[in-house]
Amino acid sequence: MAEPEQLVVEAERQAAAATTLDELSAVRTAMTGKRSPLVAARKALGDMEPDARKQAGQALNEAKAAIDEILSAREAELAAAARAEKLAAERLDLTEVVEQPASGHLHVITQTWQELEDVFVGMGYRVAEGPEIESEWYNFGALNFPLGHPARDMYDTLYVDYGEPGTTLLRTHTSPVQARVMENQEPPIYVVAPGRCFRQDTADATHMPVFHQIEGLVVDRHTTLGDLAGTIEAFTAAYFGPGFSSRLRPSYFPFTEPSAEFDIQRPDGTWLELGGCGMVHPNVFEACGIDPEQWQGFAFGFGIDRLALIRFGIDDLRELWTNDIRFLGQF
């Protein structure tokens, strides 16, 4: 019968010889299994004298512990090696990717439109909408353009064949939404109305028969021209960023008085003529059922398309409408 020390040496030799977990498992069976010399030696203890048994038993226990430790250590070694091998085998080139469909892009008009909405929502405004095919009344009449008024000629209006001739048109501005909001909502009113507008125009780099505007309307007890100028300035800072400022220049629109154009000054000192604005004309208030002695208001409006061109560095309005994926996919 082998001495326990020899068993430990043998286990050490066999464990070291095992190169896989399976081989090691066989070693474990051979060295510590039911038919192992160790188990046989333990069975043999029963025939020994108590003193000798005690001594031999202790030696066997120590040998068993030593063998277990050897096997565990070797198992850990082999497991680590196996893991490392597997990981090495699983190596991937992470740039080796078959092209997936790209994500889609919002149209530049929508991006600009939403950004403008967000600025005004942040300033406490709601967003109103109105029809694109509009009545002569809301587009002109309610806005203090009497029938036959030369100011109507300032708008190259497209009419549609609906109802009496000349009564139904493609709205030339978003201002009809002002009138609709005032008819349907009690002041105070703080709204913006982005929307699509139309005019009889030949498409070129700076004109399209279809374009987009955003309109603002505030009606409150003590709204002033100073409020209008301050609102334009606050919008300018919020949308264009620091270093941009605004100015108002007297102008003329039938539906506001006083009326103004507003310009944005860029940090380099140059000006961008942006839009029109003014104090809501008393005749407009009356046409919409609001008492101009009780309420005051201002309105402003400007083009979205040109802002989109400037923002994205596009130099031709027609590009917005081609729907060339090489255009759409850039923004």
Partner 1 sequence: MKVLLSWLRDFAPDIDGDSEQLAEVLADLGLAVEELSHVGRGLDGIVIAEVLATRPHPDADRIHLVDVDAGDGEALQVCCGAFNMAVGDLVPLATVGTTMPNGIEIARRKMRGEWSNGMLCSGAEIGMGDDHEGILILEQGLSLGVPLAEALGIQPDVLFDLEVNPNRPDAMSVMGVARDLAARLGVPFSVAVPAVDETGTPAAERASVSIASPDFCQRFGVRVLDNVPSGASPRWMANRLLAVGQRPINAVVDLSNYVMFELGQPNHTYDLDLVPGGELGVRMAHRGEELITLDGTARALTTYDGVIVNRDDQAIGLAGVMGGASTEISADTRSVLLEAAWWDPMTIARTARRLGLRSEASARFERGADPDIIPIALDRFAELAAALGSTTAPGMIDATGNRPEPIPVRVRSPRVNSILGTDLSTDQMIALLEPIGFACDSGEDGQDFNVNIPSWRLDSATEIDVIEEVGRLHGFSKIARTVPVTEQAGALTPQQQDRRRVRELLTGMGISEAMPLPFLAPGDLARAGLGDDGITVTNPLVAEESIMRTSLRPGLLKAVAYNAARRTTGVSLFEIGRVNPGGGGDLPDEGEHLAVILAGQEATAATTLWRRLARHLTVARPGVVNGPVDGLHPGRSGQVLADGQPVGALGEIDPQVLDAYEIDERVAWLEVDLGALLEADRGLAPYRAPSRYPSSDVDLAFTVSDEVSADEVYATIAEAGGELLASVALFDVFRSDQLGEGQRSLAFTLRFEAPDRTLNDAEVAQARQSCIDAVSNTHNASLRG
Per CB under 8 A, contacts with partner 1 among 62-91 are: none
Cα 213 from Cα 115, distance rounded (Å): 13
User: How crowded is residue 103: how many other Cβ atoms within 10 Å of its Cβ?
Assistant: 6
Minimum distance of partner 1 from residue 313's CB (angstroms): 18
109 binds partner 1 (CB under 8 A): yes
CA separation for the pair 201, 123 (Å, rounded): 34
Residue 53 engages partner 1 in binding (rule: CB under 8 A): no
- Single residue of 145, 190, 255, 300 touching partner 1 by CB under 8 A: 190
Nearest to 307 by CA among 324, 320, 326: 320
When the beta carbons of 125 and 302 are compared against partner 1, the nearer one is 125
CA distance 151 to 169: 16
Closest to 40 measured CA to CA, from 69, 63, 24, 74: 63
Residues 216-245 that bind partner 1 (CB under 8 A): 218, 220, 222-227, 229-231, 233-234
Q: Which is nearer to partner 1, 96 or 161 (CB)?
A: 161
Nearer to partner 1, 80 or 106 (CB): 106
Question: Under rule CB under 8 A, which residues in 264-283 are in contact with partner 1?
Answer: 279, 281-282
Q: Pick out residues in 5-34 that bind partner 1 (CB under 8 A).
A: none
Q: Which two tokens stand for residue 296?
A: 């005051």
- Taking the complex as a whole, the smallest distance from the CB of residue 259 to partner 1 amounts, in Å, to 8
Nearer to partner 1, 9 or 159 (CB): 159
Tell me: does residue 311 bind partner 1 (CB under 8 A).
Answer: no
284-303 binders of partner 1 (CB under 8 A): 296
Q: Shortest distance, CB of residue 39 to partner 1, whole angstroms? A: 43
* DSSP characters over 179-245: HHHHHHSPSPEEEEEEEEEE-S---BTTB-SEEEEEEEEEEETT--HHHHHHHHHHHHHHHH-TT-E
